[in-house]
Every structure is written in C-alpha cells, then in structure tokens.
Amino acid sequence: RSKKSLDSTAIPDDLTIAQFILDTPARPDPNRPVRGPDAQTWLIQDGTGRCIGVDELMRRTYGLANAMNLKYGISDEDVVLLFSKNHVDFPVVIWAAHRLGAVVSPANPSFTASELRYQLERTNATLMFVYPDVDTVAVALEAAKQMNIPAERIVLLDAKTLGSAVTHVDFARVEDLVQAGLKAHRSFTEYRIARGGAKDKAALLCFSSGTTGRPKAVAISHYAFIANLMQFVVHNEVNESYYNGSKVIVPWDSEKRRFRVGDVCLGVLPSYHIYGLLMNLHFNLYAGLSVVVVPTFKYMDMLASIERYRVTHLMLVPPQTVLLCKHPATAAYRTALDRIRFLLMGAAPVSREITDQLVKVLPNAQIGQGYGMTETCTGVCMFPVSQKTGTSGSAGQLMPGCIARVAKPDGTLASANEPGELFVSTPGMAIGYYGDEEATRETFLDGWVRTGDEVVINENTEVWVIDRLKEIMKVNGFQVAPAELEGCILDHPFVADCCVVGVPDAYSGEIPLAFVVLAESACSNHNADVAQDIMQHVAKNKVAYKHLKGGVEFVDSIPKNPSGKLLRRVLREKARSLKAA
Ligand code: ATP
Ligand code: MG
C-alpha cells in the first residue's frame, strides 16, 4: 500500500476531464493542494512559438464543441477519432468532445491505412480529426474510404495548404469550425455526469502500445483519468518527512516544489499515448506549467527547443535518455541542460547504468522513473519527491491510492524484496478493454489489474521492474531479464543502442544474444574485436549464466514503437532465423 494516502472522497466523481481542467477557476490559494491552469499557463507550439493561454483554450473548446454538434450532430453516443501528431488543438478536440459527452480515441499518426482502419473498426468512430500532413491525410482518406466514412467527416487540425495529392478534397478545418461555433447560437447543453457516474462514463479509448501483440483498446473513464492526475498531484507534494514529520503544504511558487508555476515542460511525448496525454499534457497544465508542444521527435531539434524555450522539465522515454547520454551533440547544450530541474522517464525499463550517466548530463535535475500502463491510466509509481534522484534503476514508489500485490509463480504472495508478478489496485484503473469481454476478464480482476510485469517491491514501497514476464529468459534453469543485460551493455562506450533476446540452445535451454548498434566512437575498430570486448564487459560484470553465450550481432538500428519500447519480438524472430541459417 502506498505510503502517502489519497482521500478518495476528494476525487470528483461527477466531472468530465474538460470540466476538471478548464472549469476549475485558477486557484492561487497557497493552501490548496491542487489548482488548475492559470494566467501563466501556456501551450507553446514548437517551431512557430505560437502561445495559447487558458482563456483561449476554453474559448476554442466551446467554439469547436458548438460546431461539432451543429455540423456533425456529435453527442454522447459518438466516438471521435483523433489521428494526429502533437498540436495545440489536440486537447481542444478532446475537451470539445467531452463537452458533448462524446468519447475520443487517439490514434498513432504514423499508422498505415490498414492499422488506422483497425482502430476505426474497433471504436466505431464516425468523425476524424487529422494532422495536416500530406501523408497523414492520405492515410486517413484511404482508411475512411474503406470504412465508408465520407471525406466530409475528416477535419484537419489547421489551415495549412496541402500538396496536390489530396487537394481534390475540400476538408473542414478546426479553425473554421471554432470560428463558426463561436458565431452561431449555442446549440448544445453541456454534458453533465450524475454523482458517481464518472466511474462508468468512458472519456477515452486509448490503445496500448502493441509491444506484445496487437494494440488493445482500453476504455478509460473520466474518473480514472482525473483520479490519476490527483494521484500525481498528491505524490508531488513535498514529502512530509522533508519537514521533520510536520505536514506542511508548500505554496505553489515555493522553491521547494517539484512543479512550479512558470516552469516549462517539453511536450515531446506523443499525445495519442496515455503517458504523453496524461502526464506530459494534462498533468503539466493542471500543475500550472507551460508545455512546448512538439509534433515530431528529432534529437537535434529537441536540444534546440530545450534551449529556445528555456525548458525546466523533461518527460521522456528511455531511448531519448540514452541519446542524452550518448549523442555527441549533447555537450554543446551545457547551459541549457543545466537549467533542467526535473526528468521523468517511463514506459520501458531504464537501467541503473543509464540513470547514473544522466546524473552527470543533468546536474541540477531530480531524475527518476515512473511506471504505469494504459490499463491503469499510467501512474502506478513515481520516484519519491524527497529525493534528488530516484533510487537508481527503481521504477519509483507506489503512488497515493495504489495498492500492490506481488504474486509468486505458485500463486502465493511474495514478501518484500521477493520477485513476482505485479497486480495493482488503483482509482486510475480503466473500465476494461472496449468490446472485448474475454480479454477484460483476464486482465481486470475484481478491482485489480494484472500487469504481466515481473517486479520486486521493498519495504519502502519502491518498485523495481525486472522485465515483462513474457520476456524473461530461462538459462540453465535460471531467470535472466533482457533489460538487466541491456543496461550493462549500454554502459559500454562503443554501444549506442542494444537489445538482448534469448535463442534456443540444446544444452542451456536458452542463451542470451545481443543485437548492438555501434556508437560513432567504435567505427575505427574491427567488429570482431568490438564483439569480443562487449562479451567480456558483460562477463566481467555478471554471473556466468548471464554471459552472452549467443554472441553479439551488429545492426543499424533497434526496432522500437513510438512509445519508446523495444520490439523484442521482431529481433527474436531475426535471431532465430540467423541461428537456423
Ligand atoms: P501491449 O500491452 O499492447 O503489448 P504495452 O504493454 O507496451 O503494449 P503500454 O500500456 O503502453 O503498452 O505499456 C505498459 C507497459 O510498459 C508495462 O506493462 C511495462 O511492461 C512497461 N513499463 C512502463 N513503465 C515502465 C518502467 N518504468 N520500467 C519498466 N517497464 C515499464
Ligand atoms: Mg501491456
């Protein structure tokens, strides 16, 4: 059970996400633990530098809601699909839909037409909001055609001109809808939820990352999303123990706070994924921070934006933090990186080795991990607020309101420091998998979410994620977590990136093989020597059964999905075919 408590009666169970974020007036009361965006909170479009404040966001939300209702008849029966990179109107579309009681399903903007079609089918969406890139629009058109959705029901996020490939369609634009909606008479009554109803009312159909198989449609209620925001807020209150045990609520602008009004967070995580949507976007706004809205991640651009917008807070996925440690360009941004006060990493394992390197890259930052999954709306763990850095390699401490159960393979409960599968109970729990009762029954068990992750929890409710249960190798009967070996290999100066898989072996059952992307610094060396060197590095640091008996294979890149997770299943296939050849 989490160390900090969350008063569950304080979680509103009758508000939509839009109402929670936009309609709670700015509260400069220093004694309130929560606030909401205020006059100093901005969404800043990366590249153009266009800033949108809260009043403008509210106005746009109202205008768009009115037009969506007038023009498309959107109501609480509808699902709206949002196929977009990060954009200042991304949350406006979501909140406008919520004002009408509609559900929003965000989709990965790099999907192909058949992947998008799958999401349209699963969600029965009837209206699509699309990022105005030629490629994205072409995919949306194709998928819409296959689903018999007329092109008139595709709305583009801004008024940019498109290339000739799609100009034959006269698309509707968010900007025009907003203006039309503001001019027209109010056509809708705000969707309201009865007391207690927010737990069953879906707000979002978010898809899981598809790391282990096909992405799953997770129905997230308004309550779960708001509860998770509040869990983060309470967690990030300066720890009571910080003040000799007397509970002190620190004013919002105090130096002591982790998140302060006037801080700027880089918004580079994709908003279509729950980590980006909840943490990077909604949490920051709710905590009164400004967010730099970054449509596409490119490392060099990211460094430039950190400098240009005087960014103080980063929320990243592990591959991005590896670049911070390993990319030769990082050094030129010393001054800008010294300004960073906070770095949160999550969505996949982060090794002790990388964390230790990050401490040097970001000397003034609190650095640590969070852990969560789409099924829990993200936040289950986050690194303790009272520490400068989270315990290196730990996924953080259980969040307020979370209860964890760790089950050993025989089904009995593990005690502190014993490994097992994590089950969590949290107010952020999703409703279930949309339209899939069987899958829901397997994962959502009577108030508990089965995570499929192997973890260890200590007495201090700190969690270590060993790996996904499915990924763990059995070598000579011993368990070996690929993530642990990857951390060790990444510590080698010649390694830019890596992925470890198990390959079948007649004697040991399975043996670890590493796919490695070489760093520039390794180029002048002979590959065979480097492979030897990497194997010796692992041999020096790990017990015998963890050694790279399967060898080292060099590749140009490691396949990852956009939420920053290794697609180990792809390389496992590759390893098997290599061994068979
Ligand atoms: P799918 O369920 O579709 O196969 P997915 O599980 O990757 O994909 P998400 O819901 O985005 O989809 O991710 C949740 C998973 O991410 C967790 O179950 C866990 O395996 C992993 N994860 C998240 N945070 C961490 C972390 N800090 N350390 C290790 N793993 C993490
Ligand atoms: Mg999953």
- 342-345/366-373 β-pairing: parallel
pLDDT at position 240: 46
Q: What is the pLDDT of residue 214?
A: 86
pLDDT at 252 over 70: no
In DSSP terms, which residues pair with 140 in a beta bridge? none
Strands 264-267 and 154-156: unpaired
Tokens of 235: 């967690």
Ligand that comes closest to the CA of residue 206: 1
pLDDT tens digits, one per residue of 292-340:
999 999 999 999 999 999 999 999 999 999 999 999 999 999 999 999 9
Distance (angstroms) between ligand 2 centre and the Cα of 555 equals: 26
CB of 346 within 6 A of ligand 1: the answer is yes
> What's residue 245's pLDDT?
44
Would the CB of 351 count as within 6 Å of ligand 1?
no
Mean pLDDT of 376-388: 88
Tell me the mean pLDDT in the region 235-255: 58
What pLDDT score does 253 carry?
A: 66
- Which tens digit of pLDDT belongs to each residue from 527-540? 888 999 999 999 99
For the chain, how long is the longest CA-to-CA vector? 76
Tell the residue number behind the tokens 């303790």, with chain if given: 384
Quote the pLDDT of residue 241. Answer: 42
Contact yes or no for 459/415 (Cβ under 8 A): no
116-163 tens-digit pLDDT? 999 999 999 999 999 999 999 999 999 999 999 999 999 999 877 676
Average pLDDT over residues 11-20: 93
Model pLDDT for residues 415-451, shown as the tens digit of each residue:
999 999 999 999 999 999 999 999 999 999 999 999 9
Give me the pLDDT at residue 68, please: 98
**How far is residue 253's CA from residue 24's CA, in Å, rounded to a whole number?**
19
The CB of 456 under 6 Å from ligand 1? The reply is: no
- The encoded tokens of residue 222 equal 């308004």
Element (H, E) at 264: strand 264-267
- Please tell me which residue, 4 or 212, carries the higher pLDDT value: 212
Model confidence over 74-85: pLDDT tens digits? 999 999 999 999
Evaluate whether 312 touches 339 at the Cβ level (below 8 Å).
yes
Among 21-35, 78-92, 422-436, 493-507, the range scoring the smallest mean pLDDT is 21-35
User: Can you say how many angstroms the Cα of residue 450 is from the centroid of all Cα atoms in its chain?
Assistant: 19
Per this entry, what is the length of the chain?
A: 581
**CA 132 to centroid of ligand 1, rounded, Å:** 30
- Mean pLDDT taken over the chain: 91
Q: Among 453, 456, 468, say which to mutate for ligand 1: greatest number of ligand atoms within 8 Å of CB.
A: 453
pLDDT tier at 360, thresholds 50, 70, 90: very high
In this structure, the residue with its CA closest to atom 23 of ligand 1 is: 347
Can you tell me the mean pLDDT for 87-102? Answer: 98
What local confidence, expressed as pLDDT, does residue 244 receive? Answer: 40
Q: Tokens representing 56?
A: 């403008």
How far apart are the C-alpha atoms of 268 and 157, rounded to whole Å? 18
Distances, alpha carbon 568 to alpha carbons 4, 471, 499, 556, in Å? 36, 8, 7, 15
Sheet order of strands, 432-433 included: 172-173, 154-156, 127-130, 79-83, 103-107, 202-207, 217-221, 432-433
Long-range contacts of 464-470 (CB under 8 A, 24+ apart): 464/393, 464/394, 464/395, 465/349, 465/371, 465/395, 466/419, 467/349, 468/211, 468/212, 469/421, 470/212
Region of poorest pLDDT, from 246-250, 345-349, 362-366, 501-505: 246-250
Q: Which protein residues have a CB closer than 5 Å to ligand 2 (ion)? A: 208
Among 160-174, 311-325, 539-553, whose mean pLDDT is lowest? 160-174
Q: What's residue 138's pLDDT? A: 94
Beta carbons of 284 and 265 less than 8 angstroms apart: yes
Work out the pLDDT band at 166, boundaries 50, 70, 90. Answer: low
For ligand 1, whether the C-beta of 378 sits within 6 Å is no
Residue 3 confidence (pLDDT): 78
Q: What pLDDT was estimated at residue 163?
A: 63
Among 204, 209, 462, the mutation site with the greatest number of ligand 1 atoms within 8 A of its Cβ is 209
Residue 550 has pLDDT above 70, yes or no: yes
Rounded to the nearest angstrom, the distance between the alpha carbon of 442 and the centre of ligand 1 is 17
Q: Is-contact 407 421, C-beta < 8 A?
A: yes
Which range has the top average pLDDT, 3-7, 53-57, 385-389?
Answer: 53-57
Rg (CA), the chain: 24
Q: How confident is the model at residue 27 (pLDDT cuts 50, 70, 90)?
A: very low
Residue 304, pLDDT score: 98
Band (pLDDT 50/70/90 cuts) for residue 388 is confident
Residue 63 reports pLDDT greater than 90: yes
Alpha-carbon gap, residue 1 to 401, rounded angstroms:
8
Q: Closest residue (by CA) to atom 13 of ligand 1?
A: 373
Name the closest ligand to CA 273.
1
Lowest-pLDDT range, 55-59, 100-104, 442-446, 468-472? 468-472
Angle CA 36–236–221, to nearest 5: 60
CA dihedral sign of residues 482, 383, 266, 360: negative
